[in-house]
Chain A
Amino acid sequence: MTSLDVPDITTPIHDRHTGSLLRAMLVDPRAWAGAVAVVAVVVVTLLGPLIAPTPPGEFVARAYAAPAPGLPLGADNLGRDVLSRVLVGGGAFLVEGLIAAALGIGVGVVLGMLIGISGRRTAGFLLFLSDSVMVIPQILLVLIILAAFGANPVTLTVSVALAQIAYTARVVNAATQGVVTEDYFRAARASGAGRAGLLFREVLPNIIGVVLVEFGVRLSVCFVALASLSYLGFSSGAVSWGAMIHENQGGITLQPLAVFAPVIMIAVFLLGMNLVRDALARAVAGRSAR
Chain B
Amino acid sequence: MTTRERVATSDTGLIARMILRRVAIGIGMLAVVSLLVFFATQALPGDIARQLLGQTATPEQLARIRSELGLDRPAIVQYLDWVSGLVTGNLGDSLASGTPVSELLAVRVSNTAALVAISAAITLPLGVLLGTLAARRSGSWQDVSISSLMQGILALPEFVVGIVLVAVFAGLFGLVPPTSPLDPREAALAQGDLLVLPVATMVLIATPHLTESVKTLVRDQLAGDHVRWARLSGIRESRILGRYALRNVAGPSAQVGGVTINYLLGGTVAVEAVYSFPGIGSALVAAVAGRDIVVVQAIAMGVATVLVVTFLLADLIGILTDPRLRSTR
Contact = CB atoms under 8 A, between A and B. Distances in A.
Contact of B304 (A136, A227, A232, A233): A136
Contacts of A252: 163, 166-167, 171, 178
Interface in B153-169: 154-160, 163-164, 166-167
A96 to B, nearest CB: 15
Is chain B's binding surface mostly helix, strand, loop or mixed? helix
Nearest to B264: A137
A256 B172 CA distance: 11
A134 to B, nearest CB: 8
A150 interface: yes
Nearest to B305: A135
A217 B178 CA distance: 32
B269 A224 contact: no
A129 B151 contact: no
Given A136-B303, A263-B164, A270 B156 contact: yes
Given A139-B270, A233-B289, A128 B25 contact: yes
B69 interface: no
A256 B159 CA distance: 16
B151 A224 contact: no
A9 B73 CA distance: 76
Contacts, number: 135
Interface stretch (B37-45, B106-114, B184-192, B227-235): B37-45
Nearest to A137: B266
A148 B44 contact: yes
B41 A144 contact: yes
A137 B303 contact: yes
B288 interface: yes
Contact of A143 (B42, B274, B285): B285
| A-side interface mostly | helix
- Number of contact residues on A: which range applies? 35 or more
Given A131-B29, A136-B303, A143 B284 contact: yes
B93 to A, nearest CB: 16
B291 interface: yes
A189 to B, nearest CB: 27
Contacts of A133: 32-33, 36
Interface string A203-243: 00000000000000000100010011001111000000010
A127 to B, nearest CB: 11
B296 interface: yes
Given A136-B300, A136-B307, A144-B300, A128 B29 contact: yes
A253 B171 contact: yes
A152 B274 CA distance: 23
Contacts of A278: 151
A232 B287 CA distance: 12
Contact of B155 (A233, A246, A270): A270
B293 interface: yes
A57 to B, nearest CB: 22
B323 interface: no
Lowest 9 CB-CB distances: which A-B pairs, in order?
A: A137-B266, A132-B32, A274-B155, A132-B29, A147-B288, A147-B296, A148-B41, A224-B157, A231-B159
7 contacts: A143-B296, A144-B41, A144-B296, A147-B296, A224-B156, A231-B157, A231-B270
